[in-house]
Structure 1
Amino acid sequence: MDFRLKDEQSMIVDSARQLGERFGLDYWREHDARKAFPSEYWRAVCEAGLCGVALPTEYGGSGLGMLEMALIVESLAATGGGSTVGQLFMINPIFGGVSISRFGSEKMRRELLPLIISGEINCCMALTEPDAGTNTLEIKTFAKQEADGGWRLNGRKIWITGVEVASKMLVIARTKKREEAASRTDGLSMFMIDVKREGLSHTSIDKLGTCTLDSSSVFFDDVRIEPEELIGTLHGGWKELLDVLNTERIVTTAGLVGTGELAIRLAVNYANDRKLFGDRPISAYQGLQFPLAQCHVEIEAARLLNHKAASHFDAGLNYGSEANAAKLIAAQTVARATERAMQTMGGMGYAKEYHVERLWRDCRLFRFAPVSEEMILNYVANHDLGMPRSY
């Protein structure tokens, strides 16, 4: 097993790191303060060809793989963006790109993939509901089919990322009543619709972190869906949705890995410069060294497991267990890494000037989103250990 990067992968990593360094930490601090979408940054990412790295060449992508995307996200996150970078890739090349390239019609691929890859449009996904949470099979948003083959959509979604800047929305809805479905997974379908459409409204949620990307409640009031806006199999969207969700885990983990790398580097640089109780830097004290070293080791473990998940996806192998386990380790470790980085800096770790507080606020989200650590442990217990379901 060869863990060395290929020449092309090394070039991609270097390009991503150089692009990220052009913007840097102050750019993200400013946009976080203004709660502003990083439009200049995302435009630069797309112009550099990084958004479409894992999407087909015939639509403007690079035709590489999810491993290359993970490497890009890690590098961009580590140069300043933090875990929010994972979300930017999540809403566009995953929610938009993966769903369309794998399950969309040829017409949809031709029309939308080049626009996503170039950054001309942004996407979002409307999945989570107030009464269902992570129990996707209990969603109630319903698309009723009409005589001409279209649908009318009614329902509510919550905590939907990026709605305010999105042109297209991947919507997951029931297309069969629960009592008519052959199983719990029967009767779910996916649609790609316009955000600006009669009957669709949304309101922003004020929140702790990830402020450069909005989170919203979304309301569907008799929203018309055209027949050609179906993605994948009518009533059979559950398994297809899992491919979208598990690749979402990969970019989320990559963003967290880069965040942990950045937080530790900021802490070490500060500790190497800070002197107390004589001429020795505070980084010489094992009380500071050991927690940061422990976090570094665990972040590297999450990175490797995520690379395995991405490589398995690219090879057409099962990758769900690896993707979920890597996300679990990364989310827990990076929460501690950012906390320890703040502790290393003392009072200055609490100051926005030193950036770690933003990384700490942003990464906290990912202990319960896009899937909670408890649900990941349920998955591991059921699927990997063969234990009975507890819920």
Structure 2
Amino acid sequence: MQNSVEGYGDMREALRELCGRFPAEYHRRHDEKATYPKEFIDALTSAGWLAAMIPEEFGGSGLGLTEATIVMEEINRSGANAGHCHGQMYNMSTLLRHGSDEQKKRYLPEIATGALRLQSMGVTEPSTGTDTTKLKTTAVRTGDRYVVNGQKVWISRIQHSDLMILLARTTPLDQVKRKSDGLSIFLVNLHDAIGHGLTVKPIRNMVNHETNELFFDNLEIPAENLIGEEGRGFRYILDGLNAERTLIAAECIGDGYWFIEKVTNYSKERIVFDRPIGQNQGVQFPIARAYVNVEAANLMRYEACRRFDAHQDCGAQANMAKLLAADASWEAANACIQFHGGFGFAAEYDVERKFRETRLYQVAPISTNLILSYVAEHILGLPRSF
């Protein structure tokens, strides 16, 4: 089964060959044991796929978000979970677009080779959630260092990262004209930070997705680790968030195609009442509807990528792509598990694992309801609801 706007044939073929070296049993085993698929991520890194967006002068491929989303799509379409590595793609956007030349020269070559891993972004907090401008973590300048205090939650891949992008308030909220002002971005060396002002508490969850709660207690960060200008961090982080939402849209699209192919093949082979269940329109229509919606989401994904790569405003397209793709993959997941019947709940079929993985994206990195609020207020001009 090919999607109508697939393109990039050679790239997809190479990705499928690499992903094919890691069969379903490999990913199932890591899911069962809640372990990290290091060999798989190392293979992607060695082949240069996770450095797709890093410019060639720094050892990367110099590609755009479009190509990066194809990497994420193909990982999920193979039956794997790009959630183990997607952070490097969107976290790099912040460093690439707003880091100094010195920061880029220092970090990007080692990120490209895999010697350094930039898989984590510290934004979300327990008491503010997606109300980012009200975050309470502070960074106070003291000489040539910033001292950080506060708390973050749902921060992924800390145990498999060397660096983290951190958003903290450097000017108190009551001292800024706009609540989006006074936030700054820092690059945190996790090896220096953990145990020296940063405490990490893992959060067990329904998906094998390593995530954590972070506690900052007078963590010192060198002032040279500030990215861009102090106080402009909220604007900078939006680039990373738009890339994140578009990349995750592509992951959901990959999931959607995986579910559709899985249930289509099963429906052709599963005989009940002397006929394949796929002969029944009650089975055909939900699968066909899911496919139509995945294809439509795919088009919005490419539009978000086009605008991002052209340095155009893409907030609306990134949000809509994420919503459409998350809904489409969830629709496909429900059809897949429904028509597998009891076998859909058996781990050996991998449907229940992928079902759990794609359900996450109804909630993260931004819930579908908040995207609808964004569209209502910022695109349709309806009154602000909160």
Establish whether residue 174 from structure 1 lines up as the match of residue 169 from structure 2.
Answer: yes
Q: Distance in 1 between matches of 2:99 and 2:344?
A: 46
Establish whether residue 355 from structure 1 lines up as the match of residue 350 from structure 2.
Answer: yes
Stretches of structure 2 lacking an aligned partner (at least 5 in a row) = none
8 Å contact 1:306–1:326 — kept in the other structure?
Answer: yes
Map residues 71-90 of structure 1 onto 2, 5 A cutoff: 71-81=70-80, 84-85=81-82, 87-90=83-86
8 Å contact 1:21–1:80 — kept in the other structure?
Answer: no
Scaled by the length of structure 1, the TM-score of the pair is 0.94
Q: Distance in 2 between matches of 1:239 and 1:105?
A: 16
> Any runs of at least 4 consecutive aligned residues in structure 1 with deviations exceeding 3 A, and if so which?
3-6
Could you tell me which residue of structure 2 aligns to residue 128 of structure 1?
Answer: 124
In 2 relative to 1, CA 293–385 (structure 1 residues): closer, same or farther, beyond 3 Å? same
Establish whether residue 15 from structure 1 lines up as the match of residue 6 from structure 2.
Answer: no
8 Å contact 1:127–1:171 — kept in the other structure?
Answer: yes
Shift of 1:35: 1.0
User: More deviation in 292-301 or 110-119?
Assistant: 110-119
Q: Distance in 2 between matches of 1:33 and 1:111?
A: 38
Could you tell me which residue of structure 2 aligns to residue 285 of structure 1?
Answer: 280
Map residues 1-391 of structure 1 onto 2, 5 A cutoff: 9-81=8-80, 84-85=81-82, 87-95=83-91, 97-122=92-117, 123-146=119-142, 148-196=143-191, 197=193, 198-209=196-207, 211=208, 213-278=209-274, 280-391=275-386
8 Å contact 2:79–2:354 — kept in the other structure?
Answer: no
| Counterpart amino acid of residue 316 in structure 1 | H
Q: Distance in 2 between matches of 1:277 and 1:71?
A: 41
Aligned length: 379
SS at match of 1:51: helix
Q: Distance in 2 between matches of 1:88 and 1:112?
A: 21
| Counterpart amino acid of residue 134 in structure 2 | E
SS at match of 1:144: strand
Shift of 1:4: 6.2
| Counterpart amino acid of residue 193 in structure 1 | V
SS at match of 1:390: coil
Shift of 1:206: 1.0
Shift of 1:5: 6.5
8 Å contact 2:54–2:62 — kept in the other structure?
Answer: yes
Q: Distance in 1 between matches of 2:163 and 2:128?
A: 23
| Counterpart amino acid of residue 25 in structure 1 | A
SS at match of 1:130: coil
Q: Distance in 2 between matches of 1:350 and 1:130?
A: 33
Stretches of structure 1 lacking an aligned partner (at least 5 in a row) = none
Q: Distance in 2 between matches of 1:380 and 1:314?
A: 22
Query: What is the RMSD of the two structures over their aligned residues, measured on CA atoms?
Result: 1.3
SS at match of 1:80: coil
Q: Distance in 2 between matches of 1:119 and 1:284?
A: 49
Q: Distance in 1 between matches of 2:349 and 2:6?
A: 32
8 Å contact 2:255–2:329 — kept in the other structure?
Answer: yes
Q: Distance in 2 between matches of 1:168 and 1:369?
A: 22
Percent identity over the alignment?
Answer: 36
8 Å contact 1:382–1:388 — kept in the other structure?
Answer: yes
SS at match of 1:222: strand
Q: Distance in 2 between matches of 1:337 and 1:151?
A: 47
Q: Distance in 2 between matches of 1:256 and 1:118?
A: 27
| Counterpart amino acid of residue 128 in structure 2 | A
8 Å contact 1:93–1:116 — kept in the other structure?
Answer: no
Shift of 1:188: 0.3
